Structure 1
Amino acid sequence: MNHDRLTVVIAAYNEADSLPALQPRIAAVLDALARDGVDGQVLYVDDGSQDATWAVMQQLAAADRRIALLRLSRNFGKELALTAGLDRVEEGAALILDADGQDPPELIPQFVAKWREGFDDVHGTRMGREGEGWLKRATAHTFYRVIGALSKTPIPADTGDFRLLSERALHALQQLRERHRFMKGLFGWVGFNRVAIAYHREPRVAGRSKFNLWRLWNLALEGITSFSTAPLRLATYLGLLSALVAFLYGVAIIVKALLWGDPVAGWPTMMSVILFLGGVQLIALGVIGEYLGRLYDEAKQRPLYLVDSWQPARTVLPAQRLGEGDRVQRLRGSAVD
């Protein structure tokens, strides 16, 4: 296993303001690691940004030979952008870092030290989340506890994408090609030797977060449905409970009619029962639809992402593996030939 090569993978979407402030911090860390015998580089992934992010990346790459650039054909979302970047890492470990600077790159040497001790998944666990509102902190805290209780896959609480993956963990992750990707769950599914490093998350260095409450809700829904069938079971139990309540209520009505009669039609009661049962049915159908929609997307077998531009680092590196987009283009070219 190669413990001398490290690639820092950063997926960015409209982060033109934050990258110039982040890159000098990463460069200083890579310089320090080089003195310890670690050959480091940075891989920036532009996830279809609409601002000057790509131009900023090209400027950074022109100033530092250790920077490689990957541009996707459009915005595929953070999970797929990370997948595209990790697919390009062939040798050594990969360290995932957010483009907003909230996860301090100065901690990278601690991650590398644990990696050299033999750990395959070194992840940062947040002890504090500075610069974030109480609502976001509360919902994030609740989400990690809920998915930890529902999922059989170990997903560490208060742990995001800030982590280092060894070469064998990375190659195992590259075999998972599902379309609906919840990366925190996939990291846990791979397993191997894992260790946490506690840290305090910093405020953003610039710009605004691209994850509003709606997008965070959808990400939470993605995670729960990707790594747990508990919602389906809950719908089943809710249906059974509703049927039991309806049966007991029906027996009570029959007994009441036989003993005392029922001269007055129970319009409010009837409407309450109908609306309650109708709501339960719609909830169950919605839950089933979420899982069915994921099966539909998997059945189409579309590539996870498409690559617009690839600019390797200007250092001596081994040949990089083709990404999903490159495979599609090669197949098309072969068909034409």
Structure 2
Amino acid sequence: MSTVELSLVMPVKDEEAAIGPCLARLIPVLEAMDDPVARSFEILFVDDGSSDTTLEVIRKTNAADPRIRGISLSRNFGKEAALSAGLDAARGKAVVPLDVDLQDPPEALPKMVAKWRDGFDVVYGVRDNRESDSLPKRITADFYYRAHNWLSNDKIPEHAGDFRLLDRRVVDVIRQMPERNRFMKGLFAWAGFRQAAVSYHREERKVGKTKFNYWKLWTLAIDGITSASTIPLRIWSYLGALVALGALGYAVFIIIRTLISGIQVPGYASLMVAILFLGGLQLLSLGVLGEYVGRILTETKGRPLYVVRERIGDADGPGL
């Protein structure tokens, strides 16, 4: 059995200025808890190919406090892979993914631990508002959660991110999932177990800049939907059948009209509209199919999800 009660997993990339303020706020919260967690916790940083001095900062913090450990990946593999590396190396009886920017407040951790002690295996944080986000981001985020839950059987809680407490049993299940195209919120939902929510207020980022632009968020959304459901493929099958039936009905109408009124030369504009519409529909359906084929190619290669370049501290977890 692990002697570590709680592992905080923190993927970082170019966050040299954020690590110090994060630890200065996080550690006092953990040490003040009325729980065995206060005496036995670890903070595990996963350096996802930083180009600044993030790795050196992790080394210095480990030298000052052995409860702080680190893993350095050989290059930037993306947050989902970095988070998976952290789950592999975490030793705690419970694991909490946490962002170093402190937008997910450490002050919510005591509530999560209390729910865990009450018997819940997953305790996820739910934002009580999205005031720190721009209006376009709030609208697109709300649309995405609704679309994902409509398309997938694995429902993800609305306005809940990766900030959650996972019991060791849940972590072990997630570590057994072999897919390379990973959408962690979807994997958390698929694992099941008893789940509870903790509401918290998400603050604005005070140190550094976010690494997620709108294109990366769009890519993540596509990964989330295609990894959780094949309904987009089915939709285009139904749409294709509907268009074919419409074309057949129109052909019957043209034949009947020709028999009654004689041959009429159709207009050029209507013909071009029909051709362009059907051509665009075909290209769009090929794009959806290509998304799935590309993921099949990635899975069949069987490459490692990540490559560890260096471990700082005693960073060998149960699977490493």
Short-chain TM bin? over 0.9
1:7 counterpart residue number:
7
Contact 2:3 2:92 in 1 (8 A): no
Distance 1:61 1:242 in 2: 62
2:318 counterpart residue number:
321
Deviates more, 1:58-67 or 1:194-203: 58-67
Write out aligned runs for 1:137-286 (5 A): 137-286=138-287
Cα distance, 1:212–1:61 mapped onto 2, change above 3 Å: same
Contact 1:130 1:200 in 2 (8 A): no
Unaligned runs of 5+ in 1: 324-337
2:292 counterpart residue number:
291
* Alpha-carbon distance, 1:2 to partner: 6.5
1:89 counterpart residue number:
90
1:93-119 residue CA offsets vs partner (Å, 9 max, x unmatched): 111101211000111111111111111
The DSSP-based 3-state class of the residue aligned with 1:284 is helix
* Alpha-carbon distance, 1:4 to partner: 6.0
The DSSP-based 3-state class of the residue aligned with 1:22 is helix
Write out aligned runs for 1:50-69 (5 A): 50-69=51-70
The DSSP-based 3-state class of the residue aligned with 1:10 is strand
Distance 1:310 1:322 in 2: 14
Distance 2:59 2:3 in 1: 29
Over the aligned positions, Cα root-mean-square deviation in angstroms equals 1.7
2:113 counterpart residue number:
112
2:306 counterpart residue number:
305
Contact 1:69 1:310 in 2 (8 A): yes
Distance 1:130 1:207 in 2: 19
* Alpha-carbon distance, 1:91 to partner: 4.1
Cα distance, 1:2–1:71 mapped onto 2, change above 3 Å: closer
Unaligned runs of 5+ in 2: none
Aligned residues: 318
Contact 1:18 1:206 in 2 (8 A): yes
The DSSP-based 3-state class of the residue aligned with 1:201 is coil
* Alpha-carbon distance, 1:57 to partner: 1.9
1:49-74 residue CA offsets vs partner (Å, 9 max, x unmatched): 12222122222222222100100000
1:98 counterpart residue number:
99
The DSSP-based 3-state class of the residue aligned with 2:32 is helix
Distance 1:265 1:109 in 2: 72
1:24 counterpart residue number:
24
Write out aligned runs for 1:120-131 (5 A): 120-131=121-132
Contact 1:3 1:93 in 2 (8 A): no
Contact 2:4 2:91 in 1 (8 A): no
The DSSP-based 3-state class of the residue aligned with 1:128 is coil
1:290-327 residue CA offsets vs partner (Å, 9 max, x unmatched): 111111111110000000110125xxx9x63344xxxx
